[in-house]
Amino acid sequence: MSSIINGSSTVPLIAGSQELLDDALIFYTNVLDFSEHSKKDNCVFLANRDQVVIELKLDPKKGNSAREVKERRKEILSKLNIVDWRSLDTTFVFKVGNLVDTIEILNSFKYTLQITPNELYPNEAYCVDPLGYIIGFTACNEPLTVVPPLQKANPKTDTSYLPSAMMSTTGSFSKLSESLQLSTNSLKPRRNIAIMTSGGDAPGMNASVRAVVRAAIFRGCKAFAIKEGYEGLVRGGEKYITEMKWQDVRGFLSDGGTNIGTARCMEFKKREGRLKGCRHLIEAGIDALIVCGGDGSLTGADLFRSEWPSLIAELKEQKEISEEQYEKHKHLYICGMVGSIDNDMATTDSTIGCYSALERICRAVDYIDATANSHSRAFVVEVMGRHCGWLALMAGIATSADYILIPEKPASSQDWQDQMTTIVKNHRAKGKRKTIVIVAEGAITLDLTPISSEDVKNVLVDRLGLDTRITTLGHVQRGGTAVAFDRILATVQGVEAVKAVLELEPDTPSPLIAIDENKICRRPLVEAVKITKSVAAAIAEKDFEKAMSLRDSEFKEHLSNFIAMNSACHDEPTLPLTKRKTIAIINIGAPAGGMNSATYAMATYCMSRGHTPYAIHNGFSGLSRHESVKSINWLDIEGWNSVGGSDIGTNRKTPEETDIGMIAHYFEKYKFDGLIIVGGFEAFISLHQLEKSRPMYPAFRIPMVLIPATISNNIPGTEYSLGADTCLNALMNYCDIIKQSASATRGRAFVIEAQGGNSGYIATYASLVSGAQASYVPEEGIHLTQLQMDIDSLREAFALEKSTTKTGKLIIKSSNASQVLTPQVLADIINAECKGEFDVKTAIPGHVQQGGLPSPIDRTRADRFAIKAVQFIEDHCDLMEPVRYAIDFSQDGKKYTETAAVLCLKGSHLRFSSIRRLYNFETELSKRMPKKVFWSKTRSIADDLVGRNRYKPVEEISH
């Protein structure tokens, strides 16, 4: 280290108390690696190997007291990212060997830093030392030189990558790490984290690699990629085990497959192969491994960790590693993420890639559906799923297939043929022109005889005489870019995986990062793999009941729903006559993907139970003005599951805005026993109005349910609304295309406007899945300081990426983030500020975000939610019947208010919440928003993974 201030090599510092002097000694010796040279009177002289001397003098009269230091620090920190600290006072700047590592060390001590020009491309870094002085660091000989973030070094042999301020007198970095641990006590050491993709590739794996690499770097760790899966681990060397820098994963979000490769490796299954892998990880300095793959890959990872103590001991005994390496790498920390299109891992609702594969299947079946209808043909579609029928089941639900064959629910050879032909024959007799049968590749009979697509075709031809074709989708299901859900899942799980390996202790079991409903959680990896393998074993043993019991409850629920909906037009209803009800469905608000799916599921499930389903067309205004009530016929809604928009019509009028008395009259006329409302915030208000009108209008004393459906996802009480996923996919695809255009023209950025009303949900998640440089939402507005910081970040990014590919940048603005700063105004401001270094254009997708075919997630969730809504009405009809016409009906009775509810997905729970409670306590009516924003952490993740500097008000800044 050498001072670069006025060429001076001595830095005089004054402490106001002995305590402050001691704190300064710890800071400069432990953090900056000075050593005590000599003492004289009240002075302590510190020196380093570059002959830089710090004179620490104790002088209570001239030095600041502890209180004054605290106030000075608070004042300086309040100007973070507002004022350049260098302008506040005399600043001492030290030259270091590697600024990035110095920043990491200071971050580990929880020092607030001002980094110029930004954290991603640091040139200088400043902090406030224990005495209140502003201390700076740079790796440049000239302060204006920009240091590229990519600095290669071999951690085994090259000590030049260490900043000279951090080199101990013996040149040992491990001893510095020890001193850091001792001085900080509770602070955990930084770990070198590697990411590996293994097994079959799955869309979204690249997003997980990007998330792990950038999250690791953001947390002050080094990130590595092990290429070609376990094959690369066994082979080792820089070709296969590569340190990854921030820019190395640029563009990964929109790439399909896995860019770091995957391969099957038989050698790793042997101890000799795992011994090689152990040595190669130690040579690379890696002590934490994150594996993204299927159950086989994760089994290998956990075995590797369990054997690690014996493997590393053997390497030490054979003298292939040093004593220091042995001590440093005694423990291996492993975390798993499931990348599999089959969605066959137990203890998690979804695996990375499964919904992308499902989207490919649904799209293919949608195309096939049109041809089948044109020619009145039957199609047999074979999908993947050797031991798990999830893809076939969900595709069957999403596309309203006539029949599915999955390994978890086999029948005898005769039974499945009889069942299928009966169902298809009945569907045809009702007027259906097409037949779709979906077969999982692992479909079997009760005696484990495989059922091939050819077998299914022969039955349809021989028994029913149908013109039948076979379509085997094969590896098309694996291909293409990941859908929005898989990008989100892979990203948030990758961030959580990095957090997990940093928190792991040697005796902590390896975790699996899972998702339960809408919540990311950790599960024991060994237990998850064990249950998963038990399913295949149970099937092999013909214990199909056990196999089904080991599947998660949602799988069994979906299967039950499919069977119920599929039997709507031909089987005898399951309820007795006395239990059958008249249930209506209505759409309120703007159209959203999944509305038609909800209508289809509600009607078919009602038919299977014996209820009479009604559709109220064109909302409450259609009912009050035109008596637009019509019973639902099975053939009329055939195929609605895969149709976008709202075929029964929708508008934004609430009951009080039309004629609530007339609405009550028609409810009474048709004797509705239950009502299902599908819609957004207007639907939420409508349910509240109906519920509070119960004392006056007995017709509303029936169970009523709201299924949230709005692209804004702004319904209080729930974290998911139908249509949000469809909208997000449409916007994501739009952003991918625009980003491609921006990349083709050097130095171009686009400002894209997203819909969403006063909710920034869509803009936030679109930013996450597209890798946008910044996003602006109504909850935060557009602060001019933040805008200036984003412009500076764009200028620096374009300057540093001038010679690279995929340099297009996106800025996403929610339409209501600012009424003044429109996309065009933002583009004009940025163009004016960037001084011709790049150019900015606007792109406004508009109502494209509301249209299109509903995504598989919205289709299947709509079916699930609609059926739960019908079940809710069934469960509460008896409760409301005695008070239906009671004169003394009590509005305040809790048991009655609970019968008007919103179907809410919150964290890991799916439940019904009272509209009265949500309206009174969780709603910001003036903003048409819930009071609590549940996705704020996602904004932080999106910003952190693109290196965005965030403006923070003074009150949010802490030491």
- Segment 384-415, tens digit of pLDDT: 998 899 999 999 999 999 999 999 999 898 99
What is the rounded average pLDDT of the residues 689-699? 94
Q: Among candidates 146, 157, 75, which has minimal Cα distance to 116?
A: 146
- Segment 139-149, tens digit of pLDDT: 775 444 333 33
Question: In the chain, how many domains are there?
Answer: 5
> Same domain for 486 and 467?
no
What is the rounded average pLDDT of the residues 319-334? 92
Q: What is the pTM of this model?
A: 0.82
Per-residue pLDDT at 679: 97
Residue 605, pLDDT above cutoff 90: yes
Q: Report how far apart, in Å, the C-alpha atoms of 654 and of each of 619, 694, 873 are.
A: 8, 16, 22
Could you tell me which residues are annotated as the binding site? Answer: 200, 264-265, 294-297, 340-342, 377, 384-386, 441, 469, 475-478, 652, 710-714, 748, 755-757, 841, 847-850, 928
Q: CATH number of the domain that 345 lies in?
A: 3.40.50.450
Residue 160, pLDDT above cutoff 80: no
Per-residue pLDDT at 891: 55
Could you tell me which residues are annotated as the binding site for beta-D-fructose 2,6-bisphosphate? Answer: 652, 710-714, 748, 755-757, 841, 847-850, 928
- Segment 731-786, tens digit of pLDDT: 999 999 998 888 887 789 999 999 999 999 999 999 999 999 999 999 999 999 99
> Same domain for 819 and 911?
no
Q: CATH number of the domain that 733 lies in?
A: 3.40.50.460
> Same domain for 832 and 776?
yes
For residue 955, being part of any structural domain is answered with no
> Same domain for 398 and 491?
no
Q: Are 620 and 662 in contact (CB under 8 A)?
A: no
For residue 667, being part of any structural domain is answered with yes
- Segment 400-453, tens digit of pLDDT: 999 999 999 998 989 999 999 999 999 999 999 999 999 999 999 999 999 999
- Segment 463-508, tens digit of pLDDT: 999 999 999 999 999 989 999 999 999 999 999 999 999 999 998 9
Of 445, 477, 509, which residue is a domain's last?
Answer: 477
Q: CATH number of the domain that 149 lies in?
A: 3.10.180.10
Per-residue pLDDT at 552: 79
> Same domain for 590 and 711?
yes
Residue 87, pLDDT above cutoff 50: yes
- Segment 196-216, tens digit of pLDDT: 999 999 999 999 999 999 999
Task: Give the mean pLDDT of the chain.
Answer: 88
Q: Report how far apart, in Å, the C-alpha atoms of 153 and of each of 157, 162, 222, 240, 517 are.
A: 9, 9, 11, 16, 43
What is the rounded average pLDDT of the residues 317-336? 92
Q: Which residue, chain included where needed, has tokens 């798993």? A: 336
Q: Report how far apart, in Å, the C-alpha atoms of 576 and of each of 579, 609, 703, 729 are.
A: 6, 9, 20, 43
Q: Specify burial of residue 43 (Cβ count, 10 A radius: 0-12, 13-18, 19+).
A: middle
Structure tokens belonging to residue 638: 């055939």
For residue 788, being part of any structural domain is answered with yes
> Same domain for 584 and 715?
yes
> Same domain for 218 and 329?
yes
For residue 566, being part of any structural domain is answered with no
- Segment 777-818, tens digit of pLDDT: 999 999 999 999 999 888 888 877 776 666 789 999 999 999
Q: Whole-angstrom Cα distance, residue 373 to residue 435? A: 8
Per-residue pLDDT at 500: 95
Of 159, 184, 209, which residue is a domain's last?
Answer: 184
Residue 56, pLDDT above cutoff 80: yes
pLDDT-derived band at 893 (thresholds 50, 70, 90) equals: low
For residue 174, being part of any structural domain is answered with yes
What is the rounded average pLDDT of the residues 821-830? 95
Q: Which H helix or E strand runs over 909?
A: strand 909-914
> Same domain for 282 and 400?
no
Per-residue pLDDT at 854: 96
Domain range spanning residue 452?
355-477
Residue 7, pLDDT above cutoff 70: no
- Segment 540-592, tens digit of pLDDT: 899 998 888 888 778 999 999 999 999 887 788 999 999 999 999 999 999 99
DSSP state for residue 266 in the 8-state scheme: S
Residue 728, pLDDT above cutoff 70: yes
Could you tell me which residues are annotated as the binding site for Mg(2+)? Answer: 295
Per-residue pLDDT at 892: 56
> Same domain for 177 and 216?
no
> Same domain for 328 and 373?
no
Per-residue pLDDT at 32: 73
Q: Are 644 and 852 in contact (CB under 8 A)?
A: yes
For residue 569, being part of any structural domain is answered with no
Q: Whole-angstrom Cα distance, residue 163 to residue 152? A: 14
Per-residue pLDDT at 836: 84
Per-residue pLDDT at 155: 33
For residue 956, being part of any structural domain is answered with no
Per-residue pLDDT at 85: 85
% residues pLDDT > 70 (the chain): 92
Supply the residues annotated as catalytic. 342
> Same domain for 319 and 342?
yes
Residue 150, pLDDT above cutoff 70: no
For residue 441, being part of any structural domain is answered with yes
Could you tell me which residues are annotated as the binding site for substrate? Answer: 340-342, 377, 384-386, 441, 469, 475-478
Q: Specify burial of residue 537 (Cβ count, 10 A radius: 0-12, 13-18, 19+).
A: middle
> Same domain for 240 and 166?
no
Per-residue pLDDT at 805: 64
Of 151, 184, 217, which residue is a domain's last?
Answer: 184
Which residues are registered as beta bridge partners of 535?
none
